[in-house]
Amino acid sequence: MDRPVSICACGCICAAGPDTRTCFETMLNGDVQPRVIPGFSYDQPMQSPVFAVKNEWLSSDEQTPPLTNTMKLLYPAVQEALAQAGLTPEKLQDLKVGSCIGSSTGASLNFKSFYQKWREGDQPDLETIESYLHCNPAAAVADKYNLSGPVQTVTNACSSGTDSIGIAASWIRQGLCDLVIAGGADALSGISYTGFSRLMITSPERCRPFDKDRQGLNLGEGAGILILADETVIQNLKLDSIAQIMGYGTCCDAHHLTAPHPEGTGLKQAINEALERSEIDAQDIGFINVHGTGTENNDRIEGQVINELFPSTPFTGIKGFTGHTLGAAGAIEAVMTIMSLREGVLMPTRGFRNAEPEATAVPITSRTETATSYALSDSLAFGGNNSALVFKKGAE
């Protein structure tokens, strides 16, 4: 069994809102619509709307070189989580604090304009390159808060956010850190938009996870952050324990570059590992926050695994509110899973209307009360990466 790791705060920003509470309330009681952004057209035959974050919600920090868009999303989520926990920069200096952030594209595509100008024979300014070099997500957070613990940026495609939280929990268990700032962040990018369009898995309308008439995904952007803490630190600083990470499982089945294994082999192994490390059974899970992209292969395989392992467990997917935020997806979904545990209520799966004929389990479609202590959040990613986290409700 893995020793439970306490979560003392969280932060979130996405198209549904600039902070955790707003995002949660929007998903419970409101709505947000994706929109077509002309700058991402790239002469694609079909335009797919995206879930973009409002400019006024982004970090306004001024620095040289300037922040990348991913960092403009990440900093507000980190700042919210630290403020929620009451962790000032002065308090952080007395602790060994790690930074573990997942990102799929992050700053790596920030130099496209430089490359374009260089190919055209120009001599572009190096500011874009300098921005890229200074905006490694985990390293930038460590530098900003002068952290003394381990630093790791995780790039496991769409499971990056989930994996960063699982890795961060292991740092706490091994005594490497007193606290870890963990999660994921990704901004919208013209290159990723073009790539997903060329794969022909984007939708011309709002995505419809698990719906029999689904047409694909919408891309989104955002950041989700958890503050993980050692129990001694929780007690000494009188921090709240809002939830616990009970177990983490991950498996790369390496079936295909972009498609999941047809039998969900890797996903099943990751979920079973997370359950085993938590020392609980599948029937103890009260609800699941699923990956649910709205693509044909992902939803079909993930649905098969849920039908097999959790035939009567309610599940919900939030990408109809956020879009697919790539490396941030698992982290944002972890934050919303924790909020549902704390508040005792699940948000609907926006976009879902009609189930597959063979489906025995379907996502919830309306606000649903829950009194469970345990929840699961899972992620599927390119390259056959599959990861899962089991969370437990914190003490009242």
**Residues classed as catalytic:** 158, 291, 324
Q: How far apart are CA 322 and CA 320, in angstroms?
A: 6
CA angle 128, 134, 136 (to 5 degrees): 110
Question: Is the Cβ–Cβ distance between 80 and 20 less than 8 Å?
Answer: yes
Question: Is the Cβ–Cβ distance between 100 and 85 less than 8 Å?
Answer: no
Q: How far apart are CA 219 and CA 240, in angstroms?
A: 34
Q: How far apart are CA 343 and CA 357, in angstroms?
A: 33
Q: How far apart are CA 52 and CA 77, in angstroms?
A: 16
Per the structure block, which two tokens stand in for 122? 């120009």
- What residue ranges in the chain does DSSP mark as E strands? 5-14, 97-102, 151-154, 179-186, 222-229, 243-252, 287-289, 315-316, 345-346, 368-369, 374-380, 385-393
Q: How far apart are CA 107 and CA 109, in angstroms?
A: 6
Question: Is the Cβ–Cβ distance between 238 and 382 less than 8 Å?
Answer: no
Q: Is 366 exposed, middle or buried (0-12, 13-18, 19+ CB in 10 A)?
A: exposed
Per the structure block, which two tokens stand in for 369? 């009360």
Q: What count of Cα atoms within 13 Å lies in the side-chain half-sphere of residue 271? A: 25
